[in-house]
Amino acid sequence: MEKKKLLFVISNPHKQIGGHIISGITLARQLAEKGYDVGVLTDSPMIEIYEMQTNIVRWHLCTYGKYRLIAYFLRRTIDIFRVVYSQSYDCIIGCDTFAVKQSWLPAIIKGISIVQFCARGAVPEFCDQLRLPGIVVIMEKVKNSYIEKYRIPEDFIILSPSRVDFKYFASLEVEAHITFGSGEKGKKVLCVSRLIGLYAPAIVMLLNEVLVAATRQPIQLLIVGDGEAKGMLKKKADEIMELTGGAASIRFVGALRVNGADLRQADLVVGMGRTVIEAIASRVPAAVIGQDKYCGLITSDVYPEFSRANFSGIGINLEGSLITDLNRLEEYSKRELDEVYRLVYHEYDAAKGAENIETAWKKIDAYSPTPLALRWNYLRALLIHFVDRFRLERAMSKTKYYRKVTMRDVIIGLLRYSRLTDLACRLLIANKRITILFHGISRERMREIPADAQPHFSVEEFRKVIGWLKDNFELLTPEEFLADEKRGALLTFDDGLANNFTNALPVLEEFSAPAVFFITTQHVQDPLNWLPATRIAARKGWGMEDAVPDDAARDFYNGLSLQQLTGFSLNPLVTIGSHTVSHPFLTRCDAKTIQFELAESKSFLESVTGRRVDLFAYPTGDYDRTVAEAVSAAGYRAGFAVGNRKVGLPGFEIPRAGIYYADPAYISLKLIGLHLGLIKDTPRY
């Protein structure tokens, strides 16, 4: 039987070399070595990737400018169609959601099969895959989601995390690209990261661990990567080296593709996902770090916990310390490393992944034995896909967990499409000074629980809001705002939730948007000591607080940790302000309690951050003249409210507009109404 001609399609709209790109190329090489005629269609890489240094794979490299996502999608679809016809490929392996969707039309017209490879680790909000055989996923929780939530038959899905070339990483013939300092002392720790906003919190966690470890022993940290967060991280690294008197040596090198020789220079490799697997394949001890904690060294005892999360650092119920792991390296025997290697090799070697890809297209061929049957099944699956999505959206809109469409939504929608709100915004408030209020930002929305049990915005929604504000206003620092010399918008966040650090900060960095974070210190001293309003929200979602899953608690309700607050204070975009100790209604407190709430929170925040804290936000927007005078007497220079109660202290009752929906027309109307005094804002928690 003649072997298939295979085309791997890999999308990269964000111009970052991610794990799905390396995984796709690795699997393509594996199948080419088995005798298949293999091509790879992908964007021209930003860095040199050793996996591409081979002639056994046919390369179709495309260069795209800065297209909008829809234009990028259409260009890619045309390129796939062109390549499939010119080279007569008869099977497409889509290595990500974009690639699969871009391949639908060429596959239907040509009558060829698509292996739907889902490289994502998160459970999708909507099913992105067609209900057909040949779906390959890398995580069991994603497979279970497709089966239970989207009713895809289990036989259609193949679980295959296998995507690392162990043979290559075991090779001793490759040369290293990087070196640690030859004259420096201490254990050598290597970290590989894209250093973009999404991963910056994890690197901040690692730097904090290095700070603690360097108080006990010298340590060398080498960070490989490049991205917009690099400047902020280098500044923090310089401060740590100065604080430790040189006991910590931290260096950054540019983005490059590390190999086994690079990894074997380290005593310990710290990272997440593919980096960790490649370190173990190179016979180097490895540890996992997440956005909110250092998870610890991978041993055979805890391997199942790390493997379940695909070494991502998300949802791992383990917490370690770098200093402990560095000391453990002395007793981390070759036998233990060999056992971890055996476990990882059995599950993640790319040779097994290539076999799973073969199994996937055989399932497709058995289900659709002729091109005509294949076309019919794809068209039917597409129709079912769109009908299911429409039904799911409609069903959700009828549940108590989804906000129903109101007359206000209809009016706002009409205004948005008429562009009247944009015109009014430019005429009435574009040259004014406004202050915006946010609270929590979640990674993504959970459709299974009520909307008012969750933060007001997901990351994607928040990105749209900041983008709109950036397009319509100059985003000011608090110094610029209080100086009253510039017109624009000041962004503020209340309460001090952990998701402000993990989810909101990367978006602010993406847009270079400064912001003030008003911290309730009860959260920092004990992140699990939730505020009263947070407890009410948790009970709305899960019935009782103890029933909230750990992932949801971290993403929705937990307060900042000390490490996260320290990371905040080192970021040049961030200003720290006080929001009291326990978030009380200050007008209901006696003078002694008010003084304690104001002074204690100020003192604590200044001691942790090393910065002056002189901005204050009233909890729930509750204040009167007595409270405002107490704020001034406590050493603050400005007080931020929600609605202006006009108690005669303008600098201590600065009004803010709370934004709770991502619709630009809604935001425009809210800001215009507040500016003209037509509506009074009230806080929502």
84 vs 99: CA distance, rounded Å: 14
Is residue 381 domain-shared with residue 241, that is, in the same domain? no
Helix (H) or strand (E) holding 249: strand 248-253
DSSP-assigned states of every residue in 640-663: E-SS----S-GGG-B--EE-----
pLDDT of residue 542: 82
518 vs 569: CA distance, rounded Å: 12
27 vs 21: CA distance, rounded Å: 10
| Assigned domain for 684 exists | no
pLDDT of residue 331: 81
For 73, half-sphere exposure in the C-beta direction (CA atoms, 13 angstrom radius) is 11
Question: Mapped to the 3 state alphabet, what secondary structure does 155-197 carry?
Answer: HHEEECCCCECHHHHHCCCCCCCCCCCCCCCCEEEEEECCCCC
257: left (phi over 0), alpha (psi -120 to 50) or beta: beta
Alpha-carbon dihedral sign for residues 82, 85, 89, 91: positive
| Assigned domain for 396 exists | no
Tally of domains in the chain: 3
Task: List, run by run, the mean pLDDT of 10-residue segments along the chain (685 residues).
Answer: 83 69 89 92 70 79 65 83 92 88 90 86 66 88 83 91 89 82 83 72 83 90 84 85 90 84 93 91 91 84 88 79 89 86 93 93 92 91 81 55 51 56 63 85 79 82 87 89 86 93 87 93 84 82 81 86 82 92 92 94 91 93 92 95 83 87 71 53 45
Identify which of 591, 645, 605 has the alpha carbon closest to the alpha carbon of residue 618.
645
| Assigned domain for 320 exists | yes
Pairing of strands 434-438, 657-658: parallel
pLDDT of residue 255: 72
The interaxial angle of helices 664-676 and 459-472, nearest 10 deg, is: 50
Residues in the chain: 685
Boundaries of domain holding 198: 168-348
Is residue 643 domain-shared with residue 496, that is, in the same domain? yes
Greatest extent of the chain over all pairs of C-alpha atoms, in Å: 87
| Assigned domain for 304 exists | yes
666 vs 672: CA distance, rounded Å: 10
3-class state of residue 596 by DSSP: helix
CATH number of the CATH domain containing 582: 3.20.20.370
Identify which of 599, 606, 107, 169 has the alpha carbon closest to the alpha carbon of residue 371.
107
| Assigned domain for 683 exists | no
pLDDT of residue 677: 46
376 vs 121: CA distance, rounded Å: 31
Is residue 537 domain-shared with residue 430, that is, in the same domain? yes
Is residue 671 domain-shared with residue 591, that is, in the same domain? yes
Is residue 520 domain-shared with residue 668, that is, in the same domain? yes
CATH number of the CATH domain containing 77: 3.40.50.2000
pLDDT of residue 437: 92
pLDDT of residue 460: 83
24 vs 117: CA distance, rounded Å: 9
Helix (H) or strand (E) holding 418: helix 407-418
φ/ψ (deg, to 5) at 637: -105, -10
Is residue 293 domain-shared with residue 246, that is, in the same domain? yes
| Assigned domain for 498 exists | yes
Helical spans, DSSP H, in 309-349: 322-328, 334-348
pLDDT of residue 156: 92
DSSP-assigned states of every residue in 16-30: ---HHHHHHHHHHHH
| Assigned domain for 443 exists | yes
3-class state of residue 136 by DSSP: strand
Pairing of strands 294-297, 286-289: antiparallel
Is residue 380 domain-shared with residue 441, that is, in the same domain? no
Q: Give CA separation, 75 vs 8, 119, 520, 625, in Å.
A: 17, 22, 49, 61
Q: Domain boundary at 338, 365, 391, which?
A: 391
Is residue 365 domain-shared with residue 421, that is, in the same domain? no
Is residue 456 domain-shared with residue 566, that is, in the same domain? yes
Is residue 218 domain-shared with residue 322, that is, in the same domain? yes
4 vs 284: CA distance, rounded Å: 38
Contacts of 125 (CB under 8 A, 6+ apart): 444, 445, 447
Is residue 647 domain-shared with residue 508, that is, in the same domain? yes
Is residue 133 domain-shared with residue 22, that is, in the same domain? yes
Identify which of 669, 621, 666 has the alpha carbon closest to the alpha carbon of residue 641.
621
| Assigned domain for 52 exists | yes
